[in-house]
Amino acid sequence: MCNLKKHDQTRWFNPLFNNSHIGILIVNKKRTIIDVNPHFCTLFGYTQEEILNQSEEILHVNSQSYNEFFDIAFKQTINGIPTRLDYQFKHKDGTIFWCQISGNLVENEVLWGINDISQRISLAQQLQAKSQLLVATQTLLHIGTWELDLHTMMIKASDEFYTIMGLKIATEITLETYLQSLHPEDRHIIFASIAYLPKGVKTKGINLRAIIHRENYCEMRYIFQKGETIYDEHGKAIKLTGATVDVTDQKETEILLKSQKKRLEYQAFHDPLTGLPNRFLLLDRLNKMIDVAERKHHKIAILFIDLDDFKFINDSLGHHIGDKYLIAIATKIKDKLRSSDTIARIGGDEFVILLDDIHSENDIIKIIYQDIAIENEIFTLANETIVPQMSIGIALFPNDGRDAHTLLKNADAAMYKAKRKQKNSYSFYDTSLTQLAYNRMNFTKELREAIEKNEFLLYYQPQINAKTETLIGLEALIRWQHPTKGLLTPAQFLPLVEELGLLIELNEWVIKNAFKQSAQWHKSGRNYGQLSINMSIKYLESPLCYDFIKNILAQTQCHVKSIIFEITEGHFMQKPQEVIERLNQLCDSGFKIVVDDFGTGYSSLSYLSKLPISGLKIDKSFIDNIPYKNDDIAITKTIIELAKNLQLEVIAEGVEKEEQKNFLLSHGCDNIQGYLYSKPLSVHDVEAFMDHY
């Protein structure tokens, strides 16, 4: 301590040095510590004995820090330039802390005043971190803060506000600049909000649209803005401060969800093919119409429509044409109905029309003929001309029911009445139809059980060569021996068989039993010619059809050459390739194929030429009016001539009169079938018929 005396001489205010709340450090030009005051020792944790005559480097974080301090502070101070800076130092225990250090040159020695600013630095760092967090949060959440001076109309805002509004950061923003960034239709909302501020009306959140100008394009963003008013001591509004949030993603999601909801609701309540209301929407509208009609004492008409010709069109022309037909029917009727009315599709070929505010039955009949046009509409689909045929059942509110379920049920029952009466007609509901509906339900149950109970049997109608008066064959015809109704013909139950999907099962029953009977007759030595069996096209389309027939043939030992399969013209058009393939298999196995009801369908000669057929059967509808109706005469003669040219056998069915027989013989059709010779007979009776011939 060779220099203490010198310092004692210059320290005129020794109490100030010792009692100062600032740490004082004195070093020479070699940066050796000459003196320190007590507060310095408190700051750094050293005693005077430990620190004096030590290099100043002992106070620094490391040697690099010691050298950097020389360059940025000591060199400047030793040259007589006062220095002040914040710098990190090291406590005796190794703790690093922030100090504010001020340096001055005093008699070639440097006097440093040191304050611990660790707390201030820590608070500043925390504030900076919070500020960064706030900025990051605003960026993440697309929230921008702002303040509008209501006197200057200048806006101070955060960086995120600039980003949200598509403005260049740090540019000066006025209210006018901000308004230019909004959608023109939304600018008045801001003016209205500001106009109400002086009146003390609390501001509310508002939804706005912003037009953001990008480098090469513009886009619209959705924003939500909320602000609060700041008043001076006199209660005058001076500022508006608040936040702006970019809610575009939420808004677009909301729009998407609304669109999806709307689409799902549409799908749930509309028919996917025609776009018409489905059963659910129909019931909803009918219930609402009933509520209104009850209050206003109006009548409602419910029209239940079934397309009589749809199944034939579907089977003969194909499902794609059937779908087009349904769409055409739906469009035509919808376009002609009043806006207050409803047409709905509730099933395959079933439609329901609700007519509101009906005054009389004549109103309904007028709508049927003018708008639904039972008889006068013609459609051309895929080069085919179709004249719609429909059966319409009509129920009235409140006469025929006071709730939607009853009205629909009764309109359906009335439709079946119209269908039984004659096709392409309408019928009003009456109470007797309810019993008919119950009868139909019971009949359906009995039909399902008939196969299990073995109630079906085969009758046989003889086929005669009228020229030689010899028996050439039989046609197997199914009958139902109903336990209470007696013997039923196919016309009385086959439509329901098709509706219930039992046609294939019934067709297999007919084939199996016809083969078995044919084999028995051959074993007993009876010669009946050939046995014709009607085959459903729906069954023929089945991939299991051919294998079933082969198996039954083997089981029964039936002679393949004695069997003819009859298929109905027009019905093989739906899946022609599958049908032709199956017919070729049957033909290759030795079976003969005949086209039944020829002349009544839509088949083309091109398809006819591809079928492996051996004969044509002229439909009864042409034979009925021979020899009196010229059109039927011409068609019959043409079919006979066509068969001859194609080297096909030809047979006429439904022959009941001598003049019909004579006409057919005179034009080269020798083979006939009909009541002129015999009605369909039981096994016992047909065997007696064989014995006679």
The reported pLDDT for the residue numbered 12 is 46
Residue-wise DSSP of 448-462: HHHTTTT-EEEEEEE
Same domain, 111 and 144: no
| In-domain check, residue 295 | yes
357, pLDDT greater than 60: yes
Question: What element of type H or E holds 132?
Answer: helix 118-141
Among candidate residues 183, 181, 152, the one with its CA nearest the CA of residue 166: 181
The reported pLDDT for the residue numbered 203 is 59
| In-domain check, residue 504 | yes
Distance from chain centroid for Cα 76: 81
d(CA 76, CA 84): 10
515, pLDDT greater than 70: yes
Question: What element of type H or E holds 392?
Answer: strand 390-397
Same domain, 548 and 669: yes
| In-domain check, residue 435 | no
Specify the CATH number for the domain of residue 289.
3.30.70.270
| In-domain check, residue 267 | no
Strand duo 563-568 + 592-598: pairing: parallel
| In-domain check, residue 564 | yes
pLDDT-derived band at 200 (thresholds 50, 70, 90) equals: low
Q: Point out which residues pair with 270 in neighbouring strands.
A: 277
Q: Given 186, 219, 252, which residue is the final one in a domain? A: 252
Structure tokens at 453: 């109970």
CB 623 within 8 A of CB 655: yes
* Strand, helix or coil for residue 49: helix
295, pLDDT greater than 50: yes
The reported pLDDT for the residue numbered 7 is 47
Rounded mean pLDDT of 201-218? Answer: 76
Same domain, 233 and 323: no
Structure tokens at 655: 């022959």
- Contacts for 672 with CB less than 8 Å, ≥ 6 apart: 463, 464, 466, 651, 652, 653, 655, 661, 664
Same domain, 493 and 388: no
| pTM exceeding the 0.75 threshold for the entire prediction | no
- The one-letter code for the residue type at 306 is D
Q: Given 401, 430, 459, which residue is the final one in a domain? A: 430
Same domain, 474 and 413: no
Same domain, 148 and 208: yes
The reported pLDDT for the residue numbered 367 is 84
Among candidate residues 575, 573, 550, 572, the one with its CA nearest the CA of residue 563: 550
| In-domain check, residue 257 | no
- Contacts for 102 with CB less than 8 Å, ≥ 6 apart: 82, 83, 84, 112, 113
CB 416 within 8 A of CB 437: yes
The reported pLDDT for the residue numbered 578 is 76
Question: What element of type H or E holds 89?
Answer: strand 83-90
| In-domain check, residue 308 | yes
Strands (DSSP E) along 413-469, which ranges? Answer: 426-428, 456-465
**Category of 276 on φ-ψ map: left (φ > 0), alpha (ψ -120 to 50) or beta:** beta
Rounded mean pLDDT of 226-255? Answer: 86
Same domain, 588 and 652: yes
Same domain, 414 and 512: no
Range from 47-51, 92-96, 572-576, 595-599 carrying the lowest mean pLDDT: 572-576
Structure tokens at 335: 């376009």
The torsion angles phi and psi of 94, rounded to 5 degrees, stand at 95, -5
Local structure of residue 248 (DSSP, 8 states): H
Same domain, 416 and 486: no
Count, residues in the chain: 693
Structure tokens at 205: 């959140």
59, pLDDT greater than 60: yes
Rounded mean pLDDT of 377-399? Answer: 83
1, pLDDT greater than 80: no
pLDDT-derived band at 336 (thresholds 50, 70, 90) equals: confident
Same domain, 196 and 314: no
Cα dihedral 243, 249, 252, 256 sign: negative
Rounded mean pLDDT of 222-240? Answer: 86
Per-chain mean pLDDT for the chain: 86
| In-domain check, residue 201 | yes
Same domain, 486 and 340: no
pLDDT-derived band at 362 (thresholds 50, 70, 90) equals: confident
Q: Domains in the chain: how many in total?
A: 4
Specify the CATH number for the domain of residue 107.
3.30.450.20
pLDDT-derived band at 670 (thresholds 50, 70, 90) equals: very high
pLDDT-derived band at 10 (thresholds 50, 70, 90) equals: very low
* Strand, helix or coil for residue 86: strand
- Contacts for 580 with CB less than 8 Å, ≥ 6 apart: 572, 610, 611, 612
d(CA 618, CA 669): 10
Specify the CATH number for the domain of residue 475.
3.20.20.450
* Strand, helix or coil for residue 537: helix
Rounded mean pLDDT of 579-586? Answer: 88
Q: Given 218, 252, 286, which residue is the final one in a domain? A: 252
CB 560 within 8 A of CB 591: yes
pLDDT in tens, 120-152: 877 777 766 665 665 555 566 668 888 999 889
Domain that holds residue 599: 451-692
Same domain, 165 and 284: no
